[in-house]
Amino acid sequence: MEIGTIALYGFLVLVMIVGVAGAVIPALPGSSLILVAIIIWGAVKGFSGVTVALGVAIAVFILSLAVDFLSSYIGAKKAGASNWGQWGAIIGLLLGFFGLLPALPIGGPLVGMLFGPLIGAFTGEFLYHRRLELKERTQIAFKATLGIIVGTIVGNIIQGILALATVIVFLVTTWSQAMA
């Protein structure tokens, strides 16, 4: 039982816990942080005893990307968003990520990724329903935006559960290796 190995293991588990929080809290790294921590442990230990945890982490990382996209899409669809609102959310995400939203001069990509899809979805729906009166247009656009928010929250909860499961698999499969 080497002190340096235990310290590294503890640090990487702490990083993974931050990754679990990041899977639930928007704009923080989640499953990617867990994956990197497992890769670091694998590199240190020669990848022996890490293959199961690494495979789960890779699968969860890919699944989290899909959940992230699909949860917003399904939330928007359930709220009655048109293709304009959905495309607006995607464009808003990209503009927000690259810091190109005029409404968000500060905060960088993290804030842009949070608010970009919401601003984009609202704008897309608002433009799509341009023949309606202002009040009705605003209500429809707000409802679509709310659908994206709810979908995103549900998606983040799912990603948090997946991330926690990945950390548990890592601990179960590597604990004896770290303490030996």
Per-residue pLDDT of 99-146, as tens digits, reads 666 554 555 566 677 777 888 889 999 999 988 899 999 998 998 888
Domain that residue 125 falls in: 3-179
Amino acid at 152: T
| Count of beta carbons in the 10 Å neighbourhood of residue 49 | 18
Q: Output the tens digit of pLDDT for each of the chain's 180 residues.
A: 588 888 999 999 999 999 999 888 866 778 999 999 999 999 988 888 899 999 999 999 999 888 877 887 788 778 888 888 888 887 887 787 676 665 545 555 666 777 778 888 899 999 999 888 999 999 989 988 888 888 888 888 999 999 999 999 999 999 887 777
Q: What is the SS3 string spanning the chain?
A: CCHHHHHHHHHHHHHHHHHHHHHHCCCCCCHHHHHHHHHHHHHHHCCCCCHHHHHHHHHHHHHHHHHHHHHHHHHHHHCCCCHHHHHHHHHHHHHHHCCCCCCCCCCHHHHHHHHHHHHHHHHHHHHHCCCCCHHHHHHHHHHHHHHHHHHHHHHHHHHHHHHHHHHHHHHHHHHHHHHC
